[in-house]
């Protein structure tokens, strides 16, 4: 598994970049991956085409877009880039626009970057860390926050292992397991998290859902699988529910299982509420 700091070198970070629209924002993120040897120029076009085809589902949280496409010959190695915009731009998302941060991913497969996606989801989901990332004065300072290292003033930055304990409805009234009569059973239920390509936003949502399941003590009763739209249609019958964005839910249509929409893929509070609705608890 690749770590976030390995996939996202400081050379792939640009701050306060001026762009005219969402295509230029993705283009800026794509150029950084070309410059750092992760992709060719063709991959940038593939990321733009992904949004044109599937809609702005890559806007995974308020102000945050996660640009990516399927693994392809244009991906030379798995890598990432980070572009903080000088001004917000509209991607067309119903609730998470406008965007001020574009994180881009180029993946050679669906496995190597799983750990990095989990780390990034936890960082962006923590308000203290998110604020530190938004205020970082230099790429080096931002990279230090991502790596959980000490900031220049000597204070400890928040990393994946030091994320703040969330508050709110997700930490109260933990429900009983879905099959209390069989407490030793493993993987009794499956939930699919779905995105257009199965290697990006679905991994974000998978990590957030697993955080909630861990907090509930349900992890041994429910497994979570990140997948793409095509695979999800074939696997839907195996699942209790499918969690995804509004745009991808429209693409999926009726798959014979509940399709639950999540707006903020980094919010444990929202995912907690969706999970409670799924199990009526």
**CA atoms of 61 and 96, how far apart (whole Å):** 6
Residues of the chain with pLDDT > 90, as a percent, come to 64
The pTM (predicted TM-score) of the whole model is: 0.83
Q: Which two tokens stand for residue 263?
A: 């707006």
Q: pLDDT tens-digit profile of 165-190?
A: 343 344 456 787 775 444 344 448 99
Write the DSSP symbol of residue 75: B
Q: pLDDT tens-digit profile of 198-239?
A: 667 888 899 899 999 999 999 999 999 999 899 999 999 999
Assign 3-state DSSP to the chain and report helix, strand, coil percentages, each to 5. Answer: 40, 20, 40
One of 68, 93, 143, 189 is an active-site residue; which one?
A: 68
Q: Which two tokens stand for residue 148?
A: 């959980």
Q: Which two tokens stand for residue 146?
A: 């991502």
Strands 79-89 and 222-228: unpaired
Whether 68 sits among the annotated catalytic residues: the reply is yes
Q: What is the largest CA-CA distance in the chain?
A: 57
Q: pLDDT tens-digit profile of 111-152?
A: 656 767 777 888 888 889 989 999 999 999 998 998 775 444
Strand blocks (E) in 208-258: 222-228, 241-244
């Amino acid at each position: 598994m690749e770590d976030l700091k390995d996939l996202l070198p400081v050379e792939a970070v640009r701050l306060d970049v001026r762009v005219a629209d969402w295509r230029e924002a993705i283009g800026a993120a794509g150029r950084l991956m070309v410059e750092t040897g992760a992709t060719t120029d063709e991959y940038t076009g593939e990321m733009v085409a992904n949004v044109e085809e599937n809609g702005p589902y890559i806007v995974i949280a308020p102000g945050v877009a996660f640009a990516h496409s399927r693994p392809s010959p244009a991906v030379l190695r798995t890598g990432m880039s980070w572009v903080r915009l000088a001004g917000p731009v509209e991607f067309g998302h119903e609730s998470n626009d406008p965007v001020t941060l574009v994180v881009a991913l180029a993946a050679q497969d669906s496995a190597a970057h799983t750990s990095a996606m989990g780390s990034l989801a936890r960082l962006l989901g923590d308000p203290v860390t998110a604020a530190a990332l938004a205020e970082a004065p230099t790429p080096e300072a931002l990279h230090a926050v991502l790596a959980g290292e000490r900031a220049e003033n000597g204070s400890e930055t928040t990393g994946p292992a030091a994320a703040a304990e969330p508050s709110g409805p997700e930490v109260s009234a933990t429900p009983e397991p879905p099959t209390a009569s069989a407490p030793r059973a493993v993987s009794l239920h499956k939930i699919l998290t779905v995105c257009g390509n199965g290697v990006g936003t679905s991994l974000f949502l998978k990590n957030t859902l697993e955080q909630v399941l861990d907090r509930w003590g349900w992890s041994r009763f429910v497994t979570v699988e990140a997948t793409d739209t095509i695979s999800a249609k074939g696997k839907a019958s195996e699942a209790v529910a499918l969690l995804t964005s509004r745009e991808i839910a429209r693409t999926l249509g009726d798959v014979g299982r509940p399709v639950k929409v999540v707006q903020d893929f980094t919010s444990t509070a929202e995912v907690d509420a969706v999970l409670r609705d799924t199990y009526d608890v």
